């Protein structure tokens, strides 16, 4: 039996290829992909063409197709179990893994030890989710998902996990806090839900004029205020809403632009926390260190998701208290992966994508 998978071959170049079904041993498994979430970083990877010769996709859900006895015992799953797979493939023994900070695993760097980024020349090639099947290495971290959870919702476990980690666990958001989320893509929207779950008192979200449909969803997810940054000053609006106190927590998840980092330092409250989780295209040109000092601001970076945040995300999905389906805009056949990337990248006229998943044809 052969397995179809998408391969990134170069700049804006992907193609469907066939691979041999891998042999499964005592301590590994094969996942039959049900859906594979398309991440903003898949779009960046497509545009840059790097890394090439990989099967993209690091946010898949699926069922265990075949599994060795050791893996079955360790993971506590059997053939047919429905699972969500974590992106990282941590070594388990380096300093960071021992500390539980496995998103910083030193084994070979995060780009290598992660699904979606490993070269197809490394056997058994099936290291990515944009495929019919994915190989499950012994280092895989997985989470059970309930059989009756709609696939379109379950496949959002990764962005929701990011929201939980960045807007709740990392800043320690508590009851009554004022939280500002800068950016309203899938992770910004997920951060709104996480802030609400954490007990935030006031949740404020920003977006561009073109993002109005996303801000509308943010309000349905529980945001109290949404700010269109094309027409309104974020700094003035947050000062007014918070009675001049500023926000206890600011979560910065905009992609590319550096100006929101400056805004975050302006709008965060004294002794508040700024979480920087958006990838920038360059360095922040002006940085007001005096303001960080005088307000005693905590600035904390956040990369990826951790085990407990994934579990919390799945709990939120299965709880059914939020209209998550509003965020999942497209389910696209695997063979049309390129179209999915263009929609997510905003390059298809008349189509507005937020969360998109691929389904094997
Ligand atoms: Zn991702
Ligand atoms: Zn490690």
Q: Which domains does the chain have, with CATH numbers?
A: 2-156+327-359 (3.90.180.10), 162-301 (3.40.50.720)
Q: H helices within the chain, ranges in order?
A: 40-48, 69-75, 95-98, 151-154, 157-164, 186-198, 212-220, 234-241, 259-267, 289-295, 307-319, 337-344
Helix (H, G, I), strand (E, B) or coil at 92: coil
pLDDT of residue 216: 98
Task: Quick: pLDDT tens for 242-255.
Answer: 999 999 999 999 98
Determine what percent of the chain is predicted with pLDDT higher than 90. Answer: 92
Q: What is the DSSP letter of 24?
A: P
The ligand that comes nearest to the alpha carbon of residue 40 is 1
Strand partners, 62: 33, 83
Measured in angstroms, how far is the CA atom of residue 229 from the centroid of ligand 1? 26
Burial class (CB in 10 A: 0-12, 13-18, 19+), 318: middle
Burial class (CB in 10 A: 0-12, 13-18, 19+), 171: buried
User: CB neighbours (10 Å) of residue 321?
Assistant: 12
The ligand that comes nearest to the alpha carbon of residue 85 is 1
Strand partners, 82: 63
When pLDDT is cut at 50, 70 and 90, the band that residue 281 belongs to is confident
Measured in angstroms, how far is the CA atom of residue 110 from the centroid of ligand 2? 10
Taking 70 as the threshold, does the pLDDT of residue 171 lie above it? yes
Measured in angstroms, how far is the CA atom of residue 144 from the centroid of ligand 1? 19
Residue written as token pair 């496995």: 102
Average pLDDT over residues 10-16: 97
Task: Quick: pLDDT tens for 211-259.
Answer: 999 999 999 999 999 999 999 999 999 999 999 999 999 999 998 899 9
What are the distances in angstroms from CA 328 to CA 40, 214, 324?
Answer: 14, 11, 7
Measured in angstroms, how far is the CA atom of residue 156 from the centroid of ligand 2? 26
Average of per-residue pLDDT values in the chain: 96
pLDDT of residue 107: 75
**What phi, psi does 260 have (nearest 5°)?**
-60, -20
Measured in angstroms, how far is the CA atom of residue 59 from the centroid of ligand 1? 6
Measured in angstroms, how far is the CA atom of residue 39 from the centroid of ligand 1? 4
**What phi, psi does 191 have (nearest 5°)?**
-65, -35
Task: Quick: pLDDT tens for 85-131.
Answer: 999 999 999 999 999 999 998 876 545 689 999 999 999 999 999 99
Answer whether 0.85 is exceeded by the pTM: yes
């Amino acid at each position: 039996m052969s397995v179809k998978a998408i391969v990134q071959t170069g700049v804006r170049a992907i193609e469907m290829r066939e691979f041999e079904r891998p042999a499964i041993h005592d301590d590994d498994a094969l996942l039959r992909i049900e859906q594979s979430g398309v991440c903003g970083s898949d779009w960046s990877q497509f545009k840059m063409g790097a890394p090439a010769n990989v099967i993209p996709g690091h946010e898949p859900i699926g069922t265990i197709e075949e599994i060795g006895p050791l893996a079955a015992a360790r993971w506590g799953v059997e053939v047919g179990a429905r699972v969500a797979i974590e992106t990282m493939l941590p070594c388990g023994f380096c300093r960071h893994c021992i500390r539980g900070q496995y998103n910083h695993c030193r084994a070979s760097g995060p780009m290598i030890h992660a699904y979606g980024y490993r070269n197809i020349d490394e056997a058994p090639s099936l290291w990515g989710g944009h495929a019919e099947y994915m190989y499950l290495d012994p280092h895989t971290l997985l989470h059970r998902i309930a059989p009756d959870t709609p696939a379109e919702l379950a496949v959002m476990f990764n962005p929701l996990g990011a929201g939980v980690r960045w807007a709740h666990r990392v800043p320690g958001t508590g009851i009554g806090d004022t939280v500002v989320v800068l950016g309203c893509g899938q992770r910004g929207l997920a951060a709104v839900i996480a802030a609400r779950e954490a007990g935030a008192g006031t949740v404020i979200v920003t977006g561009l004029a073109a993002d109005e449909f996303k801000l509308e969803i943010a309000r349905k997810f529980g945001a109290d205020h949404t700010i269109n940054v094309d027409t309104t000053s974020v700094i003035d609006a947050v000062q007014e809403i918070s009675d001049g106190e500023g926000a206890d927590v600011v979560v910065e998840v905009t992609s590319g632009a550096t100006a929101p980092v400056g805004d975050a330092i302006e709008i965060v409250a004294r002794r508040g926390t700024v979480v920087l989780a958006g990838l920038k295209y360059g360095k922040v040109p002006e940085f007001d260190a005096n303001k960080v000092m005088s307000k005693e601001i905590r600035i904390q970076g956040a990369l990826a998701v951790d085990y407990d945040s994934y579990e919390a995300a799945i709990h939120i999905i299965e709880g059914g208290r939020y209209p998550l389906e509003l965020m999942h805009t497209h389910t696209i056949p695997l063979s049309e992966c390129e179209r999915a990337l263009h929609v997510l990248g905003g390059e298809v006229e008349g189509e507005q994508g937020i969360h998109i998943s691929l389904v094997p044809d």
